[in-house]
């Protein structure tokens, strides 16, 4: 039986599938050629990440497909319900990348709090000629310890991000329309464990209280953060979106930065991905990464292994 990992899969995943007798193909097939390739090669399992889309036309045209797998959490690039109606299994890996996304968010937060995203650009250019000027320009950093982190969306990734915040000495407040409370267990290197019980509060209360805000929500029809939400926030707030492009109104974000409401923001995802707006790319208050939330070796290993385990379980 053949598995096409069209957007790639870790070696650990390949090894697990091959050990179980599957043939794994890692050729990247162009979207417009995918239907023909799947049928010609008799592909039973199609694995994708965010680059490949699996819509109704492909599902209808490829009757030999048995499983569609998404290496990651969000499945907005797959017509999930339609595929299941047609008898296909649709799987993903919701837990595998949580900590990787959480660490990226805090990489951005620490960088923004101390202006590292700009300092790292300016030092090579002016470090020898304007050292004192740069020192003065970047002398008003802020510490995360003692600050309040607001988490919008308190599922696996939101909770993983909250754990990092708690470890950093932050207070955590959270909003989730489907969750009233969560017990977070922090496990340390020597086996000690500490538990925190977080009760969710309203979205407006999170926005009012938070010094830092991070979004961990699925794709939405409407913005989660728009002009009205920015007005509620504290002055000088720092925001991160490593969830989905389109959950933050980027035009409103730029206006909030220009007004001083938002001191800085981190974007790992964009409304017009893979071609973000130039006004975002050139904005010195933004810390930017190219959708790499789950892109650690450890997360990709977990994703590959988790997909392989599910495929073997379903197909035997």
- What DSSP line would sit under 107-120, residue for residue? HHHHHHHTTHHHHH
**What pLDDT, on a 0 to 100 scale, did the predictor assign at position 50?**
85
The answer to whether residues 276 and 135 belong to one domain is yes
* Contact indicator for 150, 175 with CB cutoff of 8 Å: yes
Residues 241 and 307 in one domain: no
Rounded Cα distance, 304 and 171, in Å: 34
* pLDDT tens, N- to C-terminus, the chain (316 residues): 999 999 999 999 999 999 999 999 999 999 999 999 999 999 999 999 988 999 999 999 999 999 999 998 889 899 999 999 999 999 999 889 999 999 999 999 999 999 999 999 999 999 999 999 999 999 999 999 999 999 999 999 999 999 999 999 999 999 999 999 999 999 999 999 999 999 999 999 999 999 999 999 998 899 999 999 999 999 999 999 999 999 999 999 999 999 999 999 999 999 999 999 999 999 999 999 999 999 999 999 999 999 999 999 999 7
**Within this chain, do residues 167 and 223 fall inside the same structural domain, yes or no?**
yes
| Together in a domain, 305 and 251 | no
On whether both 69 and 151 belong to a single domain, the answer is no
Same domain, 223 and 127: yes
**Claim to verify: residue 47 and residue 154 sit in the same structural domain:** no
Give the H or E element holding residue 17. Answer: helix 11-19
Range of the domain at 88: 2-93+297-315
Can you give the CATH number for the domain in which 192 is found? 3.40.50.720
How many structural domains are present in the chain? 2
| CA separation, residue 161 to residues 123, 156, 174, 184 (Å) | 30, 9, 11, 11
- Do 184 and 108 fall within a single domain? yes
Q: Do 14 and 102 fall within a single domain?
A: no
What pairs with residue 286 in β-bridges?
A: 265
Task: Give the Å distances, CA to CA, from 172 to 158, 184, 205, 210.
Answer: 11, 11, 12, 9
From CA 278, how far away is CA 276, in angstroms rounded?
6
Beta-carbon contacts of residue 88 (< 8 Å; ≥ 6 apart): 59, 65, 66, 67, 68
Catalytic sites, residue numbers: 244, 273, 291
* SS3 of the chain: helix, strand, coil, percent, to 5: 40, 20, 40
125 shares its domain with 246: yes
Tokens 């794709």, located at residue = 219
Task: Tell me, yes or no, if the pTM score tops 0.85.
Answer: yes
260 CB neighbour count, 10 Å cutoff: 9
Do 29 and 61 fall into the same domain?
yes
183/264 same-domain check: yes
Alpha carbon 313 to its chain's center: 27
3-state secondary structure of 169: coil
């Amino acid at each position: 039986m053949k598995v096409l990992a069209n957007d790639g899969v870790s070696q650990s995943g390949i090894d697990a599938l091959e050990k179980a007798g599957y043939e794994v193909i890692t050729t990247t097939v162009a979207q417009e050629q995918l239907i023909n390739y799947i049928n010609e090669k008799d592909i039973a399992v199609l694995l994708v990440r965010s680059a490949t889309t699996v819509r109704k036309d492909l599902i209808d045209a490829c009757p030999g497909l048995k499983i569609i797998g998404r290496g990651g959490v969000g499945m907005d690039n797959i017509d999930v319900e339609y595929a299941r109606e047609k008898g296909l299994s649709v799987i993903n890996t919701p837990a595998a990348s949580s900590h990787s996304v959480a660490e990226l968010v805090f990489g951005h937060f620490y960088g923004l709090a101390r202006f590292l995203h700009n300092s790292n650009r300016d030092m090579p250019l002016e470090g020898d000629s304007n050292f004192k000027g740069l020192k003065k320009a970047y002398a008003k950093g802020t510490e995360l310890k003692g600050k309040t982190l607001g988490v919008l969306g308190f599922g696996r990734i939101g909770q993983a991000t909250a754990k990092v915040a708690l470890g950093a000495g932050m207070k955590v407040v959270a909003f989730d329309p489907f969750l009233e409370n969560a017990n977070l267990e922090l496990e340390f290197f020597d086996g000690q464990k500490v538990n925190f019980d977080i009760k969710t509060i309203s979205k407006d209360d999170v926005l009012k209280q938070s010094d830092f805000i991070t979004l961990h929500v699925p794709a939405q029809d409407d913005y989660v953060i728009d002009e009205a939400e920015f007005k509620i926030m504290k002055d000088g707030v720092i925001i991160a979106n490593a969830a989905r492009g389109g959950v933050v109104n980027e035009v409103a974000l730029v206006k909030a930065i220009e007004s001083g409401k938002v001191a800085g923001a981190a974007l790992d995802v964009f409304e017009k991905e893979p071609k973000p707006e130039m006004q975002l790319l050139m904005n010195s208050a933004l810390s930017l990464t190219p959708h790499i939330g789950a892109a650690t070796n450890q997360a990709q290993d977990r994703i590959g292994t988790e997909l392989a385990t599910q495929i073997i379980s379903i197909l035997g």
